Every structure is written in C-alpha cells, then in structure tokens.
Amino acid sequence: MPVRIEKNKNLTTAFLSGEIDHHSSAFLREEIDKAVNVVMPRELCLDFMHVSFMDSSGIGLVMGRYKLMHAIGGKLKVRGVNASTMKVMKLAGLDLLAKIDCKGEER
C-alpha cells in the first residue's frame, strides 16, 4: 500500500490509500515516522480519503503517531474518514485523542 507524504514544517500530510491492516501498517508506520523525524512538523495530518478498509491495526497506527507527535510537541489531525473506518476509530475512542473529520466535511 503506497503512501504519499507532503512534507512541510507547519503541516505534514500523509495521504493513505487502499486497505489498512496488520500486513500494510508496518510499512506505513515506517514511512510516516521517517518523514516526521526529518521534518519535525508542528502538525501531522493523516488523510484517509482513499482508504477503503481499516481494522484495529489502523488504531495502533493512529495512536502511535499521536504519541510521536505528542513527544515532539506537535499536533495530530485525521481527515477524510469513511463511515466504517469511523466506527472502528470511535470504538477505540480515537475521536477523543485527535480531531477527526469525516468524508464530506473537510476543511
């Protein structure tokens, strides 16, 4: 599963796509962490616009990035989440950790 990362000191965005499961999340984690450790952005945005499936491995991915951003004094934002992915995120209480925008209400 490919990930495109737009690196910027103010806001770094990772455009995720396809299916996020245990198999694909290790690669995503590495790529995103590599970029964050180089740029040290003030804010990291995980863009789920083109993610068609996510299980609890995606929770680990978001929580881990939340911790990483917290450690460097930055913020995490999640956007473009579809209904089924939102259901998994809400179960884990991720909506209490980070700002989550659903599909169709991006700002």
- Residues engaged in binding other proteins (CB under 8 A): 19, 21-23, 25-26, 29, 53, 55-57, 59-61, 63-64, 83-84, 87-88, 91-92
Shortest Cβ 90–other proteins spacing (Å): 10
Give 9 or 70: the residue with its C-beta nearer to other proteins. Answer: 70
Compute and round to an integer the Cα radius of gyration of the chain: 12
Strand partners, 15: 4, 47
Minimum CB distance to other proteins smaller for 42 or for 56: 56
> Which CB sits closer to other proteins, 45 or 59?
59
Tokens of 86: 């939102």
Please report how close the Cβ of residue 21 comes to other proteins at its closest, in angstroms.
Answer: 5
Output 15 or 53, the one with its CB closest to other proteins: 53
CB of 39 to other proteins, least distance (A): 21
